[in-house]
Amino acid sequence: MSVLVTGGAGYIGSHVVRLLQERGEQVVVVDDMSNGVADRIGGATVVEVDLASDAAPALLGSAIAAHDVSAVVHFAARKQVGESVAKPARYWHQNVGGTANLLQAMEDGGVGKLVFSSSAATYGAPATAVVREDGPAEPINPYGQTKLVGEWMTRAAGRAWGLRAANLRYFNVAGAGWPDLGDTAVMNLIPIVFAALAEGRAPVVFGDDYDTPDGSAVRDYVHVHDLAAAHLAALDHLEADERPFDVFNVGTGVGASVLQVLAEIRAVTGVDVEPEVRGRRAGDPPQLVADVSRIRDTLGWSARRDLHDIVASAWEARPGAR
């Protein structure tokens, strides 16, 4: 039997693939390789396919049958908030359409366990400083909307044909579990700052007038290795007959502002980081911090690494450092 990981050649997916392999699992990676890197996934079988394409259900069905797939971890999606605001139809097609194709292939192939990569973007701009899974889910951008719809889809599949699903709402993921698995896509704050420093540019801070202690946006930064471990805990949880929850926050429960992250980068690298402040980006909430009691109490998972660990590991894994 094997675990199928969509988007497994990407940043987060490759960490999960490696942890699965380390505990002896056979892994099949499904990836369109638009952002994936093939040499990050060891000896895993690779099926190259765009999940949103018309050909995807048949190709997924063949892979499920050929490799005796028993569970799926679903990462493959577009994930940039700003791009989703500018190109909403693209996000609905890729994220919702791709998930629909995957669920159809799983139903047809008799695969009944799924860990779904959701997002804290499903909360939108919450009224509380710390958000709980049972609070309002009111996404304010198309990216978050597609992730919430993905959760609805897994729940509907559970009612219709018995899918067991765990939807993991990630907060801000960063760092590297191993130096060769650093974030190669310059889309998130820490890689963006590192790229700016390498080019001699000032990093950009979007907004310094939020209702937060220093005016910059506050996020809950979780180390990618911790996040990957949460996926294995969720997979194991799907074996249990009693599963009272299907949505879990994955974070640390501690917020850090953009300016605090820049200060930590300054401390780790020794490079003077003086940002350029610009206006807020469309669709960005001022603050998102996780209540992590549910995942701790139900799955026995807690983050082990802090902001320093995140920045230090990302710096070690940055392009050109090895």
Q: pLDDT tens, 137-178? A: 999 999 999 999 999 999 999 999 999 999 999 999 999 999
Which ranges in the chain are annotated with CATH 3.90.25.10?
A: 174-220+252-317
Return the residue matching tokens 């392999």. Answer: 21
Place of tokens 């259900």: 57
Q: Model confidence at 281, in pLDDT bands (50, 70, 90)? A: confident
DSSP string of 161-211? H--EEEEEEE-EEES-SSGGG---STTSHHHHHHHHHHTTPPPEEE-S-SS
Both tokens of 156, joined, read 């509907």
pLDDT (average), residues 255-264? 96
Of the listed ranges 59-63, 129-133, 154-158, 247-251, the one predicted with least confidence: 129-133
* 293 contacts: CB under 8 Å, gap ≥ 6: none
Tell me how far apart the alpha carbons of residues 235 and 312 are, in angstroms, rounded to a whole number.
Answer: 29
Task: Look up tokens 């005796």; give the residue.
Answer: 68
Q: Per the structure block, which two tokens stand in for 212?
A: 């937060």
| Residues annotated as part of the active site | 143
> Which residue spans of the chain are classified as CATH 3.40.50.720?
2-173+221-250
In this prediction, what percent of the chain has a pLDDT beyond 90? Answer: 84
Among the CATH numbers 3.40.50.300, 3.90.25.10, 3.40.50.800, 2.10.260.10, which is that of 174-220+252-317? 3.90.25.10
DSSP state for residue 290 in the 8-state scheme: B
DSSP class of residue 121? G
The three-state secondary structure class of 41 is coil
Asked if residue 299 lies in contact with residue 237, where contact means CB atoms within 8 angstroms, the answer is yes
Whether the per-residue pLDDT at 19 is higher than 90: the answer is yes
Write down the CATH number for the domain with range 2-173+221-250.
3.40.50.720
For 55, counting Cβ atoms within 10 Å of its Cβ (0-12 exposed, 13-18 middle, 19+ buried), the class is exposed
pTM: 0.94
* pLDDT for the residue numbered 283: 64
User: What are 207's two structure tokens?
Assistant: 């907004």
